[in-house]
Amino acid sequence: METIFKWWLPYLILLPFIYLCVDEKKGLRLSVILLISTWIYFSLKNYIGVLTEELPEKFPIDMLGGWVIGGVIFCGYFFISTQVETLLAKAGFRAGMIACAAVSFIMILNQPAEEMLLLGGTLLGAGAGYYLNRKHIDFRSGASPEKTGAAKYLPLLVRFLLGITGLALILTAIGKIIPQDSANKNLYEFLRFALGGLWVCAGAPWVFVRLHLAETGKKQ
């Protein structure tokens, strides 16, 4: 878990920034692309390691493989994203939640390794949070067009600091209380990252709207 957590640390900062301060839709899209491409990469890496009877850590083209897989996923998603998002939007809230749960379940189905728990849990929490936001909050992450200067950008800074602090507290606090010898350790790890994704995509936006740090698309 420590290896993939350190590898994902920059994204655990960048993606919340995009979602909370730039564009929530683009933030979710990038998150889904990175999560799924990383899952495919680790799946192939583990599979090749088994075939060659070598440890996955000795896979000789890790960096190149990661870039190639990420590029393929990004291009594929670019061409089908509009159709998929339109379909889910028409299907409604329940269908979106079911889709998030199904993809997350597939990600950990045959590979309940620690890295898959991070990826599957984060995707479930982020996806569910996004749909909860759309249905109940309708948080909009962009800066207010009516404001200028500090009044425009200070709320974005506060949002980012609150959002990333809350995420860090969730991941570290829960991580410290998880009993390492528990038979349910994998479940706790999965829930830890699911709560992190849920906080960023729904919990923090709800707080921001309540504190008037962000606008909402709902009619007042």
Does 81 or 3 have the greater pLDDT score? 81
Residue 97, pLDDT score: 92
The answer to whether 199 and 159 have CB atoms below 8 angstroms apart is no
In SS3 terms, 54-105 reads as CCHHHCCCHHHHHHHHHHHHHHHHHHHHHHHHHHHHHHCHHHHHHHHHHHHH
Q: What is the mean pLDDT of residues 14-32?
A: 93
Residue 219, pLDDT score: 43
Q: What is the mean pLDDT of residues 147-159?
A: 89
The region that residue 145 occupies, defined by phi over 0 for left and psi between -120 and 50 for alpha, beta otherwise, is alpha
* Farthest CA pair distance, the chain: 61
Question: How much is the pTM?
Answer: 0.85
Torsion on CA atoms 106, 107, 109, 113, rounded to nearest 10: 180
Q: What is the mean pLDDT of residues 130-142?
A: 92
Structure tokens at 7: 């590898």
- What share of the chain has pLDDT > 70, as a percent? 80
- What share of the chain has pLDDT > 90, as a percent? 39
Residue 149, pLDDT score: 83
Q: Is the confidence at residue 101, as pLDDT, over 90?
A: yes
The answer to whether 137 and 114 have CB atoms below 8 angstroms apart is no
Residue 163, pLDDT score: 97
Provide the mean pLDDT of the chain.
82
Q: Is the confidence at residue 51, as pLDDT, over 50?
A: no
The answer to whether 129 and 160 have CB atoms below 8 angstroms apart is no
